[in-house]
């Protein structure tokens, strides 16, 4: 499949997901909003890539306008901005994993990640979800293959991915930068629409971190468990 063809399928999947959210539907794994995310005991087990200061700098004008309208929401710090590469266990309280789950996940990732080259993403547009807003990350063709092999490896270790996805034949990522503490205002949502087609550049990922963390990577609820490097 050509890169252009796969990108069109990714865009179609993002649009389908946005339409679903706009119609008031949600995925089973959607993180419900709370008033204080830094003291949120709901924890997940997942593999992420930190996006660095480059995206944070490009997001600053967007976040500044949103914060001026609704300062009560949670806006991610630059060191907490991350792209989810592969879920293992969705967020829950108490967590729905234990030490054996973590060790099995490490085995699964050790087998697959080093077999793939660095991952390239285009950061383009926003996804406005029921309780958060994110930058969309479009991966190359091999991102789908990476995720497929990781999910198969997790299944082989007895811990199949328990996340709910919009489609099985295409994958894309997102970088959440805001989580709502209450229902967003009309003015806030209108401001998000103004940045809906914004371009945020490209991202090269050379490693992933397996983490046990809450949705905003709050220090009191986050453990960096192991790093895995692409070849």
CATH number, domain of 171, equals 3.90.1140.10
> Per the structure, how many domains does the chain have?
1
pLDDT of residue 192: 95
Cα–Cα dist 206/95, whole Å:
28
pLDDT digits (tens, 9 = 90+) for 68-116: 999 999 999 999 999 999 999 999 999 999 999 999 999 999 999 999 9
Of the candidates 114, 135, 3, 139, which has an alpha carbon nearest to the alpha carbon of residue 66?
Answer: 135
Domain with 211, as residue range(s), is 3-229
pLDDT digits (tens, 9 = 90+) for 112-142: 999 999 999 999 999 999 899 999 999 998 9
pTM as predicted? 0.92
pLDDT of residue 207: 97
Cα–Cα dist 18/11, whole Å:
10
pLDDT digits (tens, 9 = 90+) for 188-228: 999 999 999 999 999 999 999 999 999 999 999 999 999 99
CA 65-70-74 angle, 5° bins: 95
Cα–Cα dist 170/203, whole Å:
19
pLDDT of residue 189: 96
């Amino acid at each position: 499949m050509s890169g252009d063809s796969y990108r069109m399928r990714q865009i179609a999947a993002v649009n389908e997901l946005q339409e679903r959210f706009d119609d008031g539907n949600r995925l089973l794994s959607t993180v419900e909003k709370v008033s204080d995310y830094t003291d949120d005991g709901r924890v997940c087990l997942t593999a992420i890539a930190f996006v660095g200061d480059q995206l944070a700098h490009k997001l600053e004008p967007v976040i500044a306008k949103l914060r001026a309208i609704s300062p009560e929401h949670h806006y991610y710090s630059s060191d907490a901005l991350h792209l989810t590469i592969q879920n293992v266990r969705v967020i829950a309280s108490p967590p729905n994993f234990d030490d054996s789950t973590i060790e099995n996940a490490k085995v699964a990732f050790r087998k697959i990640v080093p077999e793939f080259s660095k991952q390239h993403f285009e950061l383009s547009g926003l996804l406005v979800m029921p309780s958060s807003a994110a930058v969309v990350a479009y991966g190359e063709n091999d991102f789908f293959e990476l995720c497929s092999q990781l999910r198969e490896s997790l299944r082989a270790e007895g811990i199949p991915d328990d996340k709910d996805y919009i489609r099985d034949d295409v994958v894309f990522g997102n970088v959440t930068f805001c989580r709502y503490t209450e229902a967003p205002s009309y003015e806030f949502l209108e401001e998000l629409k103004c940045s809906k087609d914004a371009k945020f550049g490209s991202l090269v990922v050379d490693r992933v971190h397996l983490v046990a963390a809450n949705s905003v990577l709050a220090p009191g609820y986050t453990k960096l468990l192991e790093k895995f490097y692409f070849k």
